[in-house]
A and B are shown apart, each in its own frame.
Chain A
């Protein structure tokens, strides 16, 4: 079974500063994928970034980067130069490789990020 743990229910960051949202995971799979999604107050789920377990480099997408530490089983999201529009709930998720039941995503409980002006 896969498990995602997000230990920060809420985080505050000053506008233009960087912030790190923590995510640890547990799986017995050798191959897996890690995702971060953003859920603003409007409710939709917005894909931010993906990291494969065999990717040697940390994933980056614009202001988002994923600090992947495989030995520690952590996949923290770093948001640089925070903007007011970054205020939202952030979910870490993972899925196994292969087909069938491995395709489902397992989500953490989320971190509510508030960017202060």
Chain B
């Protein structure tokens, strides 16, 4: 059973360009979360999605950032007109549909995408 997959693993963009980060959850998982890790910091929640639905985007910057999880295909985190402050590691995590057990709590993380804005 493949784990959470993210691509690309490393992404370099010039200021003003767009960055698209992809996340394929574990098989059978219908919940996806995106987190951002700035250098020397812990992970910060950005957005929580289910298929075709944004459940919680309270951690997303108001401008330039968007996320989707279509019926088919991976979840996409999109950053428009990137700035140097967007340089960070972006992690995707997935979890199964709630079953009322403690396993429901565990989020499985992908390897992350390291975005560098030059």
Verify A105–B89 contact, CB threshold 8 A: no
Is B99 an interface position by the 8 A CB rule? no
Verify A100–B102 contact, CB threshold 8 A: no
The distance in angstroms between the C-alpha atoms of A100 and B31, with both chains bound, is 11
Q: Which of A45, A47, A52 has the most CB of B within 10 A?
A: A45
Verify A44–B109 contact, CB threshold 8 A: yes
Q: 8 Å CB contacts to B: which residues of A41-83? A: 43-47, 50, 52
Is B7 an interface position by the 8 A CB rule? no
Q: 8 Å CB contacts to B: which residues of A79-117? A: 91, 93, 95, 99-101, 103-110
The distance in angstroms between the C-alpha atoms of A95 and B48, with both chains bound, is 13
Q: Chain B contacts of A109 at CB under 8 A?
A: 41-42
Q: Which of B44, B89, B91, B105 has the most CB of A within 10 A?
A: B105
The distance in angstroms between the C-alpha atoms of A77 and B94, with both chains bound, is 24
Q: Which of B48, B58, B91, B114 has the most CB of A within 10 A?
A: B48
- Shortest C-beta distance, A59 to chain B (Å), equals 10
Q: How large is the interface on A (under 10, 10 to 19, 20 to 34, 35 or more residues)?
A: 20 to 34
Q: Chain A contacts of B110 at CB under 8 A?
A: 44
Verify B44–A103 contact, CB threshold 8 A: no
The distance in angstroms between the C-alpha atoms of A111 and B26, with both chains bound, is 28
Is B69 an interface position by the 8 A CB rule? no
Verify A33–B42 contact, CB threshold 8 A: no
Given contacts A43-B111, A43-B114, A44-B112, contact A105 B106 (CB under 8 A): no
Q: Chain A contacts of B102 at CB under 8 A?
A: 33, 50, 52
Q: Which residues of A are at the interface with B, using a C-beta cutoff of 8 A?
A: 4, 33, 35, 37, 43-47, 50, 52, 91, 93, 95, 99-101, 103-110
Q: Which residues of B are at the interface with A, using a C-beta cutoff of 8 A?
A: 31, 33, 35, 41-45, 48, 55-56, 58-59, 89, 91, 93, 95, 98, 102, 105-112, 114
